Amino acid sequence: MMKNSIGKKIILSYFLILIISFALVGTMFYFITLNYIERSVVKQLVMQGREATALINKSFENRKIFKERSFLGMVRGAFLWRKMQISGQDYAILDPWGRVLFTNVKSLEGKRIDLDNFKRIGRRDYYSRKGDKISVVLPLDRGYLMLSGRLTGIKMMTLEILRILLLTFLISGLIVIVIGMFLSRSITAPIKKMAIMASRLKERDFDVAIDINTGDELQELGDTINDLARKLKDYDLAQKRFLQNVSHELKTPLMSIQGYAEGIKDGVFKEDGIEVILNETARMRELVNDIIYLSRLETVNDFNFAETDINEIIRKSVEKFEGAAKLRNIEIEMKLDGPGQIRGDEEKLLQAVANLLSNAVKYARTKICVSKEVKDSRVIIEVADDGEGLDTEELDKVFERFYKGKDGDTGIGLSIVKTIVEKHGGKVSAYNRKNKGAVFRIEIPQNFHT
């Protein structure tokens, strides 16, 4: 009937709970009722006994009337006198030592009742229960009166309890099945949806989304899977674009190399052709190195975080570009404010600043300004030049891989900067200066912990 095992498990566990609670309630109910019946029988016996003992005691006082000296005779007289009062009940009159003097129960005749086997109720009354037989013993002036009764209707009561329990059990069982089926469906339906989605993701079909509105952990899971699908799609797209870009970037120098090589073969180019080929291969090697570096940054976690000095790092990068700047008559100004203490990968940070400087040296006309300050435990580095600056629509794009503007090279430099900075928990941005020129800004927390 049930297809899925989650549903079976739910219903089974419901039934288990149901059975346990019914067993508990049933036993409790049984004992509580039994106790109630027992107590009411005892109460009735004691009430009857009180009346009888009062009458018997009275006749003890009037024993002279009976002119019998012996205790036995007194009791007999008294008892005979009020015999009718306790008729219909099993009774026995005991002497002070528990010996049976009178009784209407054959089996008790001549016996001795041991009151130690009785439970005390009240100050001087006793009672005992054997099976469904209840006996109470009440004191007389001398001796005791014992009355016995039966717990009637216990079997009936048990049957009745069982009947009620069974009926409610059946009804609750039906409810449990309905609720269990409903519940299991509400759990399995979203799980099935997610399974279908997962298998589609496996087939690289990322244009899927599931809609789960259970408002619980399943919905959370569904949202996460949707998120995952979106991320995978972005990643897939980025990878495709990356491959396209790489092939495109490699194709241009390759075609140029091929052209010149064929030209040399046909005798069209000589030495100058070889020069171009060498230049192109060098450019290709640089490009491949850059691509490898960038993909390593993103995939391999080979960042070595340590305490280092960002002032020192900036000084070193500027030093590297001083020669190239001088050649183009460009002045590099440095403004390093605040302490240089930072947690980061020295070599990678140096690479990031160097990439910014490499662009600046290329695009500046006369001057580059490198500044650094510390604000709210964040190090802010800006590299500004006085070149043409960036087009407004370029501002967001320059950090993309392979994006290059006019006179661009490979378009990887800034994406390396972005990756390095983001691995340090920071962010990059670009804007234009009021006068002229581009400003590239890096913001990194001083104490970033991975």
Q: Which residues bind Mg ion (CB under 5 A)?
A: 359, 413
Q: How far is the CB of 410 from Mg ion (least distance, A)?
A: 8
Q: How far is the CB of 413 from Mg ion (least distance, A)?
A: 3
* Residue of 385, 419, 426, 428 interacting with ligand ATP (CB under 6 A): 385
Distances in whole angstroms, Cα of residue 222 to Cα of each of 53, 117, 193, 216, 217 = 82, 71, 9, 10, 8
Q: At what angle do helices 217-265 and 154-202 cross, to 10 degrees?
A: 10
Q: How far is the CB of 426 from ligand ATP (least distance, A)?
A: 17
Task: List all residues 6 or more positions away from 61 whose beta carbon is below 8 Å from its beta carbon.
Answer: none
Helix (H, G, I), strand (E, B) or coil at 81: helix
- The option from ligand ATP, Mg ion, none interacting with 411 (CB < 5 to 8 A, set by class) reads ligand ATP
Q: How many CB atoms lie within 10 A of CB 129?
A: 14
Of residues 59 and 355, the one with the C-beta less far from ligand ATP:
355
Instruction: With residue 134 as reference, give the H or E element that holds it.
Output: strand 133-139
Q: What DSSP state is assigned to residue 406?
A: T
- The option from ligand ATP, Mg ion, none interacting with 408 (CB < 5 to 8 A, set by class) reads ligand ATP
Q: At what angle do helices 5-61 and 154-202 cross, to 10 degrees?
A: 160
Place of tokens 């469904």: 132
Q: How far is the CB of 378 from Mg ion (least distance, A)?
A: 25
Q: Which residue is nearest to Mg ion (CB)?
A: 413
What would the two tokens of residue 102 be?
A: 């009178």
Q: Candidates 34-42, 233-241, 271-279, 385-393: pick the segment binding ligand ATP (CB under 6 A).
A: 385-393
- The option from ligand ATP, Mg ion, none interacting with 412 (CB < 5 to 8 A, set by class) reads ligand ATP
**397-426 residues near ligand ATP, rule: CB under 6 A:** 398, 403-405, 408-415
Of residues 216 and 396, the one with the C-beta less far from Mg ion:
396
Count of residues that bind ligand ATP according to CB under 6 A: 21
Counting DSSP H helices and E strands in the chain, the numbers are 9, 13
What would the two tokens of residue 443 be?
A: 């913001």
Site for ligand ATP contains 153 (CB under 6 A):
no
Q: How many angstroms separate the first and last alpha carbons of the chain?
A: 53
**337-366 residues near ligand ATP, rule: CB under 6 A:** 355, 359-360, 363
Task: List all residues 6 or more positions away from 372 whose beta carbon is below 8 Å from its beta carbon.
Answer: 310, 311, 314, 335, 336, 337, 338, 340, 379, 380, 381, 382
Place of tokens 């002036």: 141
- The residue type of 307 is E
Of residues 136 and 417, the one with the C-beta less far from ligand ATP:
417
Place of tokens 């940054």: 297
- The option from Mg ion, ligand ATP, none interacting with 385 (CB < 5 to 8 A, set by class) reads ligand ATP
Site for ligand ATP contains 438 (CB under 6 A):
yes
**290-309 residues near ligand ATP, rule: CB under 6 A:** 290
Of residues 68 and 409, the one with the C-beta less far from ligand ATP:
409
Q: How far apart are CA 107 and CA 431, in angstroms?
A: 115
Site for ligand ATP contains 387 (CB under 6 A):
yes
Of residues 308 and 415, the one with the C-beta less far from ligand ATP:
415
Q: How far is the CB of 438 from ligand ATP (least distance, A)?
A: 4
Phi, psi at residue 11, to the nearest 5°?
Answer: -65, -40
Closest-CA residue to 322 (of 311, 335, 334) = 334
Q: How far is the CB of 218 from ligand ATP (least distance, A)?
A: 44
- The option from ligand ATP, Mg ion, none interacting with 113 (CB < 5 to 8 A, set by class) reads none
Burial (CB < 10 A; 0-12, 13-18, 19+), residue 65, is exposed
Q: How far is the CB of 304 from Mg ion (least distance, A)?
A: 24
Instruction: With residue 126 as reference, give the H or E element that holds it.
Output: strand 125-130
Please answer whether residues 101 and 143 qualify as being in contact, where contact means their C-beta atoms are separated by less than 8 angstroms.
yes
Of residues 403 and 431, the one with the C-beta less far from ligand ATP:
403
- The option from Mg ion, ligand ATP, none interacting with 404 (CB < 5 to 8 A, set by class) reads ligand ATP
Interface with ligand ATP by CB under 6 A: which residues?
Answer: 290, 355, 359-360, 363, 385, 387, 390, 398, 403-405, 408-415, 438
